[in-house]
């Protein structure tokens, strides 16, 4: 298939794009390249990938002509970044995504796979949550994902198939590594300081998925028969990979020699608390075969940090921390207040 992948130079996109190429698809990536200076280790593998440097808010119907499917990853990627400017989060994550779906339908694109999130469930309590469970998002990021699902689903018809992949909390090594994600962050603290540093009380439940397994879900949703995925939502991950944050901390202690758990002075319970059942994707899309668990992922991260090296100043600062990176670009006036580049050529 000919596939347009938005956000192909991001944390997940740099893993998904080569996977799509290896699966035999023709891949065109669209990215505004906000994080071109945040590469961890080697540069992303772009062999066989055509790139368009463009903001998703500026795409038009002509950009989408001739594609069989759009895999839509691009957006402001986490809760702290969403809180920086909630209206921008809604502009990019919600309004631009819905507009893209409308354009895709007009252009004759048959499948639109949206990167949604288990953040939709938000303050979900202690009971198991399913694709049919009520949403209760607590952040602009989570709310924006809910709004996209709400507004794109009615576009479904005999010629247009939206699919909503509600991914668990991601972890794992990427060329555009994010250190604001729980497993990545805790292993980094343990590696650099010997402390598994918890900024919350650690009691909340959260499902986890390795980015390679998250990428596999997009390939499975792309290649599945239309009837299996048409206008469907899928929780992405494995049901067995739900943990309390304190359990993640213990796995990290057992992975990084000499490390210990330490709580931040202001650590409080996290309102985001959701335990998610992933059985639907396992039964509906049998080609989806996740390979990772958190313990393997923690070991992978620890080995990568040992090999490449990282400091607290880097992973808590503007090089890798998404919200700090964006603030630095704003303060240096390389980005305007709408998160658009002021210069055509990136320095």
Residue-level pLDDT at 322 = 84
SS3 159: coil
Residue-level pLDDT at 81 = 65
Contact 232, 161 (CB under 8 A): no
Residue-level pLDDT at 7 = 97
Residue-level pLDDT at 269 = 78
Query: Which one, of 181, 277, 163, lies nearest residue 217 by Cα?
Result: 163
Contact 85, 76 (CB under 8 A): no
Residue-level pLDDT at 117 = 97
Residue-level pLDDT at 345 = 43
Query: Which one, of 334, 338, 325, 336, lies nearest residue 81 by Cα?
Result: 325
Distance of CA 157 to the CA centre of its chain: 27
Query: Mean pLDDT by 10-residue block, N- to C-terminus, for the chain (347 residues)?
Result: 97 97 98 90 91 96 97 83 78 97 98 97 94 95 96 98 98 95 96 93 94 98 98 98 96 97 86 95 96 98 96 89 87 91 61
Residue-level pLDDT at 334 = 92
Residue-level pLDDT at 347 = 40
Contact 119, 276 (CB under 8 A): no
Whole-angstrom distance between the N-terminal and C-terminal Cα of the chain?
34
Residue-level pLDDT at 346 = 44
Residue 208 bridge partners (DSSP): 169
């Amino acid at each position: 298939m000919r596939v347009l992948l938005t956000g192909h130079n991001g944390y997940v996109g740099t893993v998904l794009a080569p996977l799509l190429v290896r699966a035999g698809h023709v891949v065109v990536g669209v990215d505004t390249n906000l994080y071109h200076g945040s590469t961890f280790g080697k540069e992303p593998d772009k062999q066989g990938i055509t790139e368009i440097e463009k903001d998703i808010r500026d795409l038009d119907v002509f950009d989408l002509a001739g594609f069989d499917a759009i895999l839509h990853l691009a957006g402001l990627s986490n809760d702290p970044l969403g809180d920086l400017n909630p209206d921008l989060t809604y502009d990019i994550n919600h309004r631009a995504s819905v507009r893209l779906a409308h354009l895709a339908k007009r252009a004759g694109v048959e499948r639109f796979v949206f990167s949604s999130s288990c953040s939709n469930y938000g303050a979900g309590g202690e009971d198991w949550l399913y694709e049919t469970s009520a949403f209760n998002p607590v952040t602009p990021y989570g709310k924006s994902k809910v709004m996209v699902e709400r507004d794109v689903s009615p576009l479904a018809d005999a010629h247009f198939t939206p699919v909503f992949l509600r991914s668990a909390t991601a972890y794992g090594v990427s060329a555009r590594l994010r250190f604001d994600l729980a497993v990545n962050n805790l292993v980094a603290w343990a590696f650099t300081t010997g402390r598994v540093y918890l900024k919350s009380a650690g009691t909340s439940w959260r499902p986890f998925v390795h980015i390679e397994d998250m990428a596999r879900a997009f390939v499975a949703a792309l290649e599945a028969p239309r009837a299996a995925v048409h206008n469907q939502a899928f929780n992405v991950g494995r049901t067995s990979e739900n943990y309390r944050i304190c359990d993640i901390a213990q796995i990290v202690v057992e992975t990084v020699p000499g490390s210990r758990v330490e709580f931040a002075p202001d650590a409080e319970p996290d309102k985001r608390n959701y335990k998610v059942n992933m059985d639907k994707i396992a039964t509906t899309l049998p080609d989806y075969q996740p390979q990772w668990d958190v313990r393997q992922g923690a070991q992978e991260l620890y080995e990568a940090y040992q090999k490449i090296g990282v400091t607290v100043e880097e992973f808590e600062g503007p090089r890798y921390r998404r919200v700090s990176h964006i603030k630095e670009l704003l303060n240096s006036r390389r980005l305007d207040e709408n998160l658009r580049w002021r210069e055509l050529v990136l320095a």
